[in-house]
Structures are given as C-alpha cells and as structure tokens.
C-alpha cells in the first residue's frame, strides 16, 4: 500500500526526497495499522476521552497535512478560510463513511507532497495564525516536514495501541 507516488524523481533535492520517504513511511504506517478494521471498529472509542481511530485519521488529514502544508507552507487562502476550529477535525459525522475519511487522508497526502516538492527546503512559511498560536516555532519547509513526521509517527503509535486493544493486532513486534 502506497500513500504517495515515488517522490524520488519529483523532489527538488536529496534532503527533501529523504524527508518525504520518511514521511511516506509514517503515512503508510497510519493506514497499515488500520487495514482490516471494519467501520464499526474504526469508530469505536479507544480511550475514555472518546477518540476513535477514524477521528484521529481525520485529525491527521485536516489539522496536520492540510494545515501545515497547504495553509502554512503554501498560504492557500481557500484552505486557510476552511480550516477546522478547535477539535472539529476529530469529529467524524455519522454520514461520512470510513472509506471517505481514509481516502481524504490519502488525497491530502498527495496534495501535501505537491506543495513539498514545489518548495525549497529553506523556504519561509507563507502564512501563520498569530492570533491562535503567537509567534511561529517553525520557520521553513524543512522545519514543517520534520514536525509533521514527528506528529504522524506519534499518532501512528496511538493507532498501534488502539489496534492492539481492539483486536490484538500489532504492527511491529520486536523480539
């Protein structure tokens, strides 16, 4: 299962290609650990707070991939105007199918990759919501990709734990 196409030929330099390979691996982990879960299990609360796997994937789609790449790095005004507020991204409407949420994640990863491959690693951010977060703590595309790799990996770990609690499946077992 590949989330994105091979980026080795489209990325502008070896550093960005390496970062994209790592990010793509984390994206594949997110989708891979969920593979085989039915719609009911994808919506089953994993913690007392009520979050579920599908909500976490939607959060990765909207609050991570879309926010960081299409809003912050690219400054896409349409995307900026449509960003979710608060914890909205974690809430998946009942009429939205699991397949739709997973496909949106794949598509947003593709759109993010287009931004990444068109942007130099040292490029400054195009937009930042100072009113929400104060001064930015990230300053270049490189910073943003590294941040998204870390956040995606962290959430992949959350999904690992949730999957093991749901049906015992584990992504990687080191012996």
What residue spans define the domains of the chain?
14-167
Q: Is the model's pTM score more than 0.85? A: yes
What's the Rg (C-alpha) of the chain? 16
Go through the chain and tell me how many residues it has.
Answer: 175
Confidence at residue 3, expressed as pLDDT on a 0 to 100 scale: 53
- At residue 124, the 3 state secondary structure works out as strand
Quick: pLDDT tens for 14-56. 999 999 999 999 999 999 999 999 999 999 999 999 999 999 9
CA distances from 165 to 30, 50, 68, 72 (A): 16, 14, 30, 35
| CATH class of the domain defined by 14-167 | mainly alpha
- Judging by beta carbons within 10 Å of its beta carbon (0-12, 13-18, 19+), is residue 113 exposed, middle or buried? buried
Does residue 96 contact residue 88 with C-beta atoms inside 8 Å? no
């Amino acid at each position: 299962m590949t989330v994105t196409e091979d980026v080795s030929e489209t990325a502008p330099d070896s550093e960005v290609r390496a970062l994209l390979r790592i990010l793509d691996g984390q994206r594949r982990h997110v989708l891979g650990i969920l593979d085989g879960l039915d719609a009911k299990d994808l919506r089953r609360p994993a913690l007392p707070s009520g979050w579920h796997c599908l909500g976490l994937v939607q959060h990765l789609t909207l609050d991570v991939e879309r926010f960081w790449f299409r809003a912050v790095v690219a400054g896409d005004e349409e995307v900026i105007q449509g960003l979710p507020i608060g914890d909205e991204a974690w809430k998946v409407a009942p009429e939205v199918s699991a397949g739709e949420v997973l496909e949106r994640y794949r598509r947003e990863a593709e759109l993010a990759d287009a931004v990444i491959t068109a942007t130099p690693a040292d490029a400054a951010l195009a937009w930042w919501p100072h009113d929400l977060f104060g001064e930015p703590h990230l300053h270049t595309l490189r910073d943003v990709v590294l941040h998204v790799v870390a956040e995606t990996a962290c959430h992949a770990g959350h999904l690992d734990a949730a999957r093991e609690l749901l049906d015992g499946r584990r992504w990687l077992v080191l012996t």
